[in-house]
A and B are shown apart, each in its own frame.
Chain A
C-alpha cells in the first residue's frame, strides 16, 4: 500500500523551548552560542553586502526620487521635496492604467490557477520517478529565454502565423488577436504558469491523501472530497501560487510591450516610459514605489497564510 506516514501532530504543542535557545544556559553553552552566532554572521556577509549594494541602495534611490521634482527640461531636481508625483497618480489616465494592469493580472492569475491545478494534481499523483521527469518538462520553458518565448507567441498569434492560418482554413477568417489584451493575458499565463504549478505541486505532493480516503469513507463523493478536503488542505499552495503569478503579472513589462502593442498600456510599460521617453523620473519612481508596496502587501498575505497553515496543520510549501 502506498502510504506516507503522517508526522505525529506533536509539533503544535511545542511552544516554549526553541532549539538553540534554552531557557537558562550555562557559561559553556553561552560561549558556544556566541561562537555559532559569529560564524553565522560571517557566512551571511557576502550575500548581505550584495543585496545591500544592488537591491537596497537602488530601492532607496527610487524612494528618494519619488519625492523629487521634475524640472522643465526633464531633469530631476533633488531640492524641494514634495508629494506631487504621488498626487499625479490619482490622475484618471494613470488610475485607468493601474486598474487595467490589476484586471489583466487578476484574469491571468485565475486562468493560471484553473490550468495549473489539474496539472499539478496529475503530477503529484504520478509514481515518484515519473513525477521527477514531468517536473523537468515543466521547468524547461522556465529555463528558456523569456524574450524568445514571447516572440514565439507573437509569431504564433500573428496574422501570418499558424493560428491565423488554421482559423482561415476552417473558414473563420483572419485571426486578429495579437496586440489585444487577450494576447497579453495569453502570454502572461504562459510566462507565469510555472510559478503557479510549482507551489500547487508542492502542496498536493505533501498532502496526506489518507484524508481524502477518510472523506470518501465518510460518504463524500469524489468531487465533494476534492472541494471539502483537497482544496482546503492545499489552500496555502493556492495562495502562494496566486501571489507569485499576480505580482509579476501586475508589473509585467516585456509581455505587454511585445504582445500588447500601444492599445494595452500597462503599468510596467508606463513606468519604463517615465524613465525613458517622458523623462519624468519622479513619477516613474512614485509608481515603482506603489508597485513595490502592493507586492509587499501580497507577500505579507502569503506569509500569514503559511503561518496559518502551519498552525492548523495544513500543508504549506
Chain B
C-alpha cells in the first residue's frame, strides 16, 4: 500500500507537526505503532479511526500529555518529543472540554495568559477578543456548569485560541453535542480555522465529520496509520480493506488477483481492474453502493462488469431505495451487494431477478 502524499496537498515548507516512527506502549499494549506523519502549516487535519485505534494517544503525544516510547516528534522543526506540555506551542480542546469548574468563563479563558505572565489590561483585551471570536459575550461571569454543551465547547475553544497556539489540537470536540448542533459547529469550526489560520488537528471516530471538515484525513486502526490523503482520495481510493470499509459504506466483493489487470470474483465474473498486487493474492473489489446500477436481468450494458442476482431485501429511505442483491444460491456463503437507487424509479420487489453493473473507474482493489 503506498501512502499517497505527493499529490494530495501534502505540506510544503516546515511542517507544523512531523512524526517519524512514533510509537507509544502502555505496558504490553501498543497504542500507537510506528507512525510517520507530516502535517502542514495551516492544515485542517483529521485523525480518523474507531475507538481504541490510537488516535487520541497520537494527539496527546503532540500535546505532551503522553511521551512517545520511541520516535521523533517535531513541532515547526523543533524536537519536542520529551518536552512537558507547558513548554509546547500547542493547545488542546479536550473531549468533554475539561473546563475548570471552580472558575468563571472569563477566568477559564484567561488561565493560559495568566500562566504565561500576561495580566491586567492586556489580558483583559485578549480575553475579550477570544470571547468575541467564539460569540460568548455576556457569559463571562458564568460558571461552566451554568452553560449548555455548545457554550462549554466555545469556552474550551476560546481558552485554547486565546494563547495563539501554533497548532490547535481537538479531541472529539463535537462528540458531546447533539446532531443538529454538531452540524452547525462543523461549519463554524471550519470557518474559525480559516479566520485564525492556525493548524488544526482534529481527532474523530465519525468519518462523515472527518470528510466534511478536513483538508486531509489520516485513517488509523490498531495503532497504525493506514492511509493519509484528501477526503476524496481516501473515499475513492482506499488503501486497504479496512479503510474502504470504514470510510462510507461499500461492497467488498471477494476475489483473487489474476494479474495486473484482472480480478476473479468469487461471485463468478472476472473484472478488469488496475492493481499492483501480485497474481494469486486474495483481494476484494470495493464498489460504493451509489455507484452500482440496477438493471432487469440480462439488460446490463455491454462492456461494463456485471453480475446477476435477485433482490434480497429492500429498504425505503425517502430519497432513495437501498436494495440488497444476492448473487448465486441464497443462504450462507452467497455474495450480496448493496445498491442505492434514487427514488423515482419503480420499487423492485423482493425475489425479482436483476443484474447489477458498475463503471470500473469508480472501484478499487483492496487487500488486507
Seen from chain A, the residues whose Cβ lies within 8 Å of a Cβ on chain B are 1, 5-6, 8-9, 11-13, 208, 210-211, 213-222, 224, 228-229, 232-233, 235, 311-314
For the complex with contacts A1-B57, A216-B86, A228-B111, 18 further pairs of A-B residues with Cβ separation under 8 Å are A9-B101, A9-B145, A12-B143, A13-B146, A211-B100, A214-B99, A216-B85, A218-B112, A218-B115, A218-B159, A218-B163, A219-B112, A220-B115, A222-B84, A233-B102, A312-B143, A312-B145, A313-B101
B residues in contact with A218, CB < 8 Å: 86, 91, 111-112, 115, 159-160, 163
Query: Inside 8 A of B64's CB, which chain A residues have their CB?
Result: 216-217
Q: Is B153 an interface residue (CB 8 A)?
A: no
Q: Write the nearest CB–CB distance from B224 to chain A, whole angstroms.
A: 18
> Residue B363 at the A interface, CB < 8 A?
no
Whether B364 sits at the interface, judged by CB under 8 Å, is no
Annotate B79-90 by CB proximity to A: 1 below 8 A, 0 otherwise. 000001110001
Q: Nearest-CB distance from B223 to chain A (Å)?
A: 13
Name the A residues within 8 Å of B176 (CB-CB): 8
**A217 close to B101 (CB less than 8 A):** no
From the candidates B31, B63, B96, B111, name the one contacting A6 in the complex (CB within 8 A).
B96
Interface residues of B (CB under 8 A from A): 26, 31, 56-57, 60, 63-65, 84-86, 90-92, 94, 96, 98-102, 111-112, 115-116, 143-147, 149, 152, 159-160, 163, 176
The smallest C-beta distance from A232 to any residue of chain B, in angstroms, reads 5
- Check A313–B96 contact: CB distance below 8 A: no
Interface contact A9-B144, CB-CB below 8 Å: yes
A1-B56, A224-B115 given; A214·B98 CB < 8 A: yes
Q: Are A312 and B102 interface neighbours, CB within 8 A?
A: yes
Given the complex, which residues of B lie within 8 Å of A215, measured CB to CB? 100, 111, 115
Q: Of A217, A228, A229, which one neighbours B65 at CB under 8 angstroms?
A: A217
Instruction: Report A218 CB to chain B, min CB distance, Å.
Output: 4
**In the assembled complex, how far is the CB of residue B17 from the closest CB belonging to chain A, in whole angstroms?**
15
| 27 CB-based A-B contacts, threshold 8 Å | A1-B57, A5-B96, A6-B96, A6-B98, A9-B101, A9-B144, A208-B101, A211-B99, A215-B100, A215-B115, A216-B86, A217-B63, A217-B64, A217-B65, A217-B85, A217-B94, A219-B86, A219-B112, A219-B116, A220-B86, A220-B111, A228-B111, A229-B100, A312-B101, A312-B143, A312-B145, A313-B102
What residues on A are CB-neighbors of B102 within 8 Å?
232-233, 235, 312-314
- Chain A proximity of B156: nearest CB distance (Å): 9
- CB contacts (< 8 Å) of A5 on chain B: these are 96
A214 touches B143 (CB 8 A): no
Known A6-B96, A211-B100, A312-B101; contact A221-B86, beta-carbon cutoff 8 A = yes
B163 touches A211 (CB 8 A): no
Given the known A-B contacts A1-B57, A214-B92, A218-B111, are A12 and B146 also in contact in the complex, defined by CB atoms under 8 Å?
yes
